[in-house]
Chains A and B, each alone.
Chain A
Amino acid sequence: MATNVLMPQMGESINEGTLTKWHKKVGDKVQREEILFEISTDKVDTEIPSPVSGVLVQVLANEGSVVAVNSVVAVVDESGVGASPSTPAAKPAAAPEPVAAPAPAPAAVASAPLAPSANDAVEESNRAVKSSPLVRKIAAEHNIDLSKVAGSGENGRINKQDLVSYIEAAKSTGSGLVASAAQAAFSAVKTAPGAAIDSTGGQISGTVDGVRVERVPMTQMRKKIAEHMVMSKRTSPHVTSVIEIDLQKIVDLRGKFKDKFESLHGFKLSFMPFFMHAALEGIKAVPIVNASVDGDAILYKKDVNLGIAVALDWGLIVPVIKNSTERSFVGLARELENLASKARNKKLAPDDVKGGTFSISNFGGFGTIIGQPIINQPQVAIMGIGAMVKKPVVVNDAIAIRTTCHVVLSFDHRVIDGSDSGKFLSTVKNTLENWALPVV
């Protein structure tokens, strides 16, 4: 029996990924859970294991090609004899989000006309939707699943205008989770890609406005970050408030217990879990910071999934600690350690970056004391941590040297007011300055 291996969906706004490396060749035996190929998406670089044991009988996407989520990239024959697969290319399963970002058709795939390609799978499913030949041609080129496109023609038939509008909309927003109002607002922005493309006349080096430049195309991840940042700024009126916190108690506590912690739990105790715990206390006191906007309604999230921004050499990723409030201090610390190491080793699973409800960004690493982080949509607030510095402070009317830092909250002023933010930050401050939780 042949099993189709699909391009996995790596996060809610991910619609495609680049197949970066095959670990197996056609004809190779592969064990279940053995790495079959590697992919790189705008959020995650990861290795994909084979879902079954058998023989790799077909490879439908070449290295370097961009493949739509849920399209078939390989066929593994479980009978192990390498018989031809029963279904050459399955239809992509219905994904909850629109397949957006148009990607150039994978050239390598297109040049192998005899083998069914991942594109064929999309084309095949597109034939089942009411559309026109012209629409199917444009959709194939952009690798768009037409079942996601609304048709305005006779009996819901998708016509060229419908698809063109869809592509335009998809270009302007990366995330399917973003409220439609935000999408509408965002689709009004027309960047001028033409001007940028022409600036160096397609050359890698050139001169633009009298300045010598080198032209480097954005990676998928960088493109998505760019899109997401602009979209967030357009969606939410950002306000940032700042509070200064005396961390001496935390510094002392960590100094005292860090060796014991490491020997007990097998990993180093960083400061981040303290801030995470404080943020959770803040969310408990001010639930609106753990919400999102849905049209004219506010969705208060009963679960708190903390997203922690992790800087990578190649970009930025926000792994999510699910159900953070249900974890102990050590549990939080362990999950953070676990996700951060996965991120650095490109082992994050799609689930690891999904479903965040509140984010924390630590920008103090290089000594920055205050920052104004951008909200990770569709969330409504993000906490930022500045550098820890020793400062003379007034304690009981005497000057003392204390380790302090600035903590900021960027919030969406549509639904959060300054008083909410103040209450949140003061709760964070109180929690840290009067720490009462055992750390080991």
Chain B
Amino acid sequence: MSTSYDLVVIGSGPAGYVAAIHGAQSGLKTALIEKKEWLGGTCLNVGCIPTKAMLHSASMFDKASKLASYGVKIEGADKPGGIKLDFPQVNTRKDEIVKHVNGGVAFLMKKNKIDVIRGMGRLAGTGSVEVTAADGSKSKIQAKNIILATGSKVRELPHIKIDGKDILSSDHILYLDKVPESLAILGGGVVGSEFASCFGRFGSKVAIFEMSDQLVPSEDFETAAELAKALKKQNVEIFTSIKVKSITAKGGKVEVLVEGESAPRVYEKALISVGRAPVTEDIGLETVGIKPDARGFIPVDLKTYKTTAANVYAVGDIIPTPQLAHTASAEAMFAVDIVTGKKRSPINYLTNPGAIYTYPEVASIGHREQDLKKEGREYSVGKFPFSAIAKARIEDASDGFVKILTDKKYGEILGVHIVHAKATELIAEFSLGNNLEMTIDELAHTIHPHPTISETILEAAHAAKGHAIHI
């Protein structure tokens, strides 16, 4: 193995491994450093992939009880206890999928002739990275360019101790051996809502405690209301504008003490999902003079992803941009393009889609209505419910809506909020359209196939222009 590279990437998540592949494809001699035994980072191992695998099982379990209504009869299914959740199999399937995708990343490294170096990578002065292997041995490699992609970890609270047994983080809840009878979730953001939707449908009695005044605080207020409505049908209680004083494990149970209450509420397990913190400690930033901000993020120039240190770039969850896998990959490719001298137009984060995989899913892009209102902008709202669309009824997925916010003068698409079983797929139309700066007119004049779920977008576009057709 060589010790000198054009590009060294630290971290193998969706930022790091994509940077490595794109770098190698662009002709750079590339090395990828990963401290864990598996490639793919949070997303692949303890994030996007395993959680969506579990959520899909939850959806199938949910559907199973409705099969008879479609005319699919399974012997014994109609008897009490006829349809059962095989939770170990849920985990097995999830683990198999993770393993498969994991192998896929390893293959891609080999295919692109990327040197994967196992160990903890740290910056060691200009143009140099030190790698500490599992056995403690140290080696140094030279790098013309370095991309930091060390990602994020579960954010912890000083007054609540995550023990991994009863009080869990998202890393732990993936490895339960049975579905808890009850589950308290601290934090009603993306992660909290997804696990609520998952375990609620598995049969847990779930309670979400959210400090701000709406579920999924980063989303449009109507989205939050629609999702809350749906989650309540999935054994989920939602408490907003609530402060939790303490969560403590006691005798195999978890006690949640809410501010202003004298007696604790008792649950079998608790999940702490209060966000993710950047991993920027102990990676040698000080050796090249990079100073993280107060929250630990690395400041970068968003036109190049350059840090304050020469030839050191930072992308993904360690910079103060949306902490999403697809965002990280986009930033990673951008940084590599800068390394190889390509001219790129800066990423417009207003065209960056957000996705939540609850039932129904939530997907959004651009501004929220409450923000536009606050800014005093002149906007129009086009909203259309899936319940008026035939294909949604056929697929038994009538919950939710498409909401399009447009600028009154030019019809610019300012924000899109979709709540639907397939919302995360539907939003891609706006990722493209908004990136190309379409206006509501182009959207309304685009022919959508019939019968489909996507027709709802067309209807919402007409609604934004003043006249929906099918309602």
Question: What chain B residues lie within 8 Å of A159 (beta carbons)?
Answer: 345, 437
Are B345 and A134 in contact, with the CB atoms below 8 A?
no
Which chain A residue shows the least CB distance to B413? A134
- B437 nearest CB across to chain A (Å): 3
Q: Counting CB contacts under 8 A, is A154 at the interface?
A: yes
Query: How many angstroms between the C-alpha atoms of A157 and B348 in the bound complex?
Result: 14
Say yes or no for A160: interface residue by CB 8 A criterion.
yes
Set of chain B residues within 8 Å of A135, measured between Cβ atoms: 437
Asked if B471 is an interface residue, CB under 8 A from chain A, the answer is no
Count chain A residues whose beta carbon lies closer than 8 angstroms to a beta carbon of B.
Answer: 13
Binary contact track B420-449/A, C-beta < 8 Å → 1, others 0: 000000000000000011110110000000
Q: A84 to B409, alpha carbons, bound, how many Å? A: 35
Q: Are B438 and A132 in contact (CB under 8 A)?
A: yes
**Nearest CB in chain B to that of A158: its residue:** B437
Q: Quick check: B345 and A152 within 8 Å, CB to CB?
A: yes
B411 is contacted by which of A137, A152, A153, A154 (Cβ under 8 Å)?
A137
Give the chain B neighbours of A160 by CB distance below 8 A: 412, 437
Interface string of B87-118 (1 = CB under 8 A from A): 00000000000000000000000000000000
Do B345 and A137 have beta carbons less than 8 Å apart? no
| A141 CB contacts on chain B under 8 angstroms | 409-410
Question: A133 in the interface, Cβ–Cβ < 8 Å?
Answer: yes
Q: Give complex CA distance A319, B410 in Å.
A: 41
Size bin of chain B's contact surface: 10 to 19
Which B residues are CB-close (under 8 A) to A134? Answer: 410-412, 437-439
Report the Cα distance A203→B102, complex, angstroms.
70
Contact residue among A133, A138, A153, A157 (Cβ-Cβ distance under 8 Å from B442): A133
- The contact of B439 among A137, A152, A154, by CB within 8 Å, is A137
Query: How near does chain B come to A204, taking the closest CB pair, in angstroms?
Result: 26
- Whether the Cβ atoms of A132 and B436 lie closer than 8 Å is yes
Residue of A nearest to B438 (CB): A133
When C-beta atoms are compared, the residue in chain A nearest to B344 turns out to be: A154
Is the pair A133, B437 in contact by a Cβ cutoff of 8 Å? yes
Scoring B residues 185 to 209 as 1 if CB is less than 8 Å from chain A, else 0, what string do you get?
0000000000000000000000000
B345: chain A residues at CB < 8 Å are 152-154, 157, 159
Closest to B433 in A: A133
In the docked arrangement, what's the CA distance between A154 and B432, Å?
13
Shortest distance from the beta carbon of A238 to any chain B beta carbon, whole Å? 38
Bound Cα distance from A159 to B411, whole angstroms: 15
Shortest distance between the CB of B408 and any CB in chain A (Å): 12
Complex contacts, A133 vs chain B, CB 8 Å? 436-439, 441-442
Within 8 A of B (CB), among A146-189: 152-154, 157, 159-160
- The B-contacting residues of A in range 120-145, CB under 8 angstroms, are 132-135, 137-138, 141
CB distance from B432 to the nearest CB of A (A): 12
B333 → A minimal CB distance (Å): 13
For B410, what are the chain A residues with a Cβ–Cβ distance below 8 Å? 134, 137-138, 141
Q: Which residues of A contact B439 (CB under 8 A)?
A: 133-134, 137
Alpha-carbon distance between A153 and B412 when the two chains are bound, in angstroms: 17
Q: How far is the CB of A134 from chain B (nearest CB, A)?
A: 4
| Chain A proximity of B207: nearest CB distance (Å) | 44
Q: What residues of B have a CB within 8 angstroms of the CB of A157 in the complex? A: 345
Q: How far is the CA of A326 from the CA of B317 in the complex (A)?
A: 72
Bound state CA distance, A152 and B437, in angstroms?
A: 14
The answer for the CA separation of A301 and B66 in the assembled complex, in Å, is 88
CA distance A132 to B439 in the complex (A): 9
Q: Which residues of B contact A152 (CB under 8 A)?
A: 345
Contacts of A138 in B (CB 8 A): 410
| Chain B residues within 8 Å of A154, by CB | 345
Complex Cα–Cα for A132 and B351 (A): 14
Residues of chain A lying within 8 A (CB to CB) of residue B409: 141
Residues of B with C-beta under 8 A to A153: 345
Kindly list chain B residues whose C-beta atoms are within 8 Å of the C-beta of A132: 436-438
Bound form: Cα–Cα A53–B41 in Å = 77
| Closest chain A residue to B409, Cβ basis | A141
Q: How far is the CB of B146 from chain A (nearest CB, A)?
A: 27
Q: Which residues between 286 and 312 of chain A lie within 8 Å of chain B, taking CB atoms?
A: none
A135 to B437, CA, bound (A): 8
Minimum C-beta distance from A179 to chain B (A) = 26
Complex CA gap A160/B437 in Å reads 8
Question: Nearest A residue to B412 by beta-carbon distance?
Answer: A134
Q: What 1/0 mask marks residues of chain B from 398 to 413 whose CB sits below 8 Å from any chain A CB?
A: 0000000000011110
Minimum CB distance partner of A137 in chain B:
B410
CA distance A159 to B439 in the complex (A): 13
Docked CA distance A141–B438 (Å): 16
For A154, the closest partner residue in chain B by CB is: B345
Closest beta carbon of chain B to A158's beta carbon, Å: 9
| Nearest CB in chain B to that of A131: its residue | B437
Assembly CA distance A277 to B308 (angstroms): 61
Considering residues A134, A137, A157, A160, which has the most beta carbons from chain B within 10 angstroms of its beta carbon?
A: A134
Chain A residues whose C-beta falls within 8 Å of the C-beta of B411 in the assembled complex: 134, 137
Identify which of A132, A133, A138, A141 gathers the most chain B CB atoms within 10 Å of its CB.
A133
How many angstroms from the CA of A160 to the CA of B435 in the assembled complex?
A: 11
User: Cβ of B412: which chain A residues have Cβ within 8 Å of it?
Assistant: 134, 160
The CA of A153 and the CA of B435, in the complex, are separated in Å by 10
**Per-residue 0/1 for A259-280: is the Cβ within 8 Å of any B Cβ (1 yes, 0 no)?**
0000000000000000000000
Closest CB of chain A to B36's CB: distance in Å?
A: 36
CB-nearest residue of chain B relative to A153? Answer: B345
Alpha-carbon separation in the docked complex, A153 to B346 (Å): 8
Give complex CA distance A154, B348 in Å.
12
Q: How far is the CA of A160 from the CA of B412 in the complex (A)?
A: 10
CB distance from B386 to the nearest CB of A (A): 27
> Once bound together, how far apart are the Cα atoms of A249 and B411, in whole Å?
71
Query: Bound state CA distance, A152 and B346, in angstroms?
Result: 9
Task: Tell me the minimal C-beta distance from B320 to chain A in angstroms.
Answer: 21
By beta carbon, the residue of chain B nearest A162 is B345
Interface centre among B436, B437, B438, B442 (most CB of A within 10 A): B437
B438 / chain A contacts, CB cutoff of 8 Å: 132-134
- From B436, which residue of chain A is reached at the shortest CB distance? A132
Roughly how many angstroms separate A134 CA and B442 CA in the complex, as a whole number?
10
CA distance A35 to B436 in the complex (A): 46
Q: Bound complex: CA of A159 vs CA of B409, how far in Å?
A: 17
A155 to chain B, nearest CB (A): 9
A115–B187 Cα gap in the complex (Å)? 60
Interchain CA distance A138-B410 in the complex, whole Å = 7
Docked complex Cα distance between A153 and B436 (Å)? 10
Task: Kindly identify, within residues 330 to 381 of chain B, every residue whose CB is under 8 Å from any CB belonging to chain A.
Answer: 345
Q: Give the chain B neighbours of A137 by CB distance below 8 A.
A: 410-411, 439
Tell me the smallest distance from the CB of A149 to a CB of chain B, in Å: 14
Write out the residue numbers on chain A whose beta carbons fall within 8 Å of the beta carbon of B441: 133
| Nearest chain A CB to B350 CB, angstrom units | 10
- Once bound together, how far apart are the Cα atoms of A184 and B43, in whole Å? 46
CB distance from A96 to the nearest CB of B (A): 27
A154 to chain B minimum Cβ distance, whole angstroms, is 6
Taking beta carbons and an 8 Å cutoff, which residues of B are in contact with A?
345, 409-412, 436-439, 441-442
26 residue pairs of the A-B complex, CB under 8 angstroms, read A132-B436, A132-B438, A133-B436, A133-B437, A133-B438, A133-B439, A133-B441, A133-B442, A134-B410, A134-B411, A134-B412, A134-B437, A134-B439, A135-B437, A137-B410, A137-B411, A138-B410, A141-B410, A152-B345, A153-B345, A154-B345, A157-B345, A159-B345, A159-B437, A160-B412, A160-B437
* Known contacts A132-B436, A133-B442, A134-B410; 9 further A-B pairs (Cβ under 8 A): A132-B437, A132-B438, A133-B439, A134-B437, A134-B438, A134-B439, A137-B411, A137-B439, A159-B437
User: Which A residues contact B (CB, under 8 angstroms)?
Assistant: 132-135, 137-138, 141, 152-154, 157, 159-160
What are the 3 closest A-B residue pairs judged by CB atoms, nearest first?
A: A132-B437, A134-B437, A153-B345
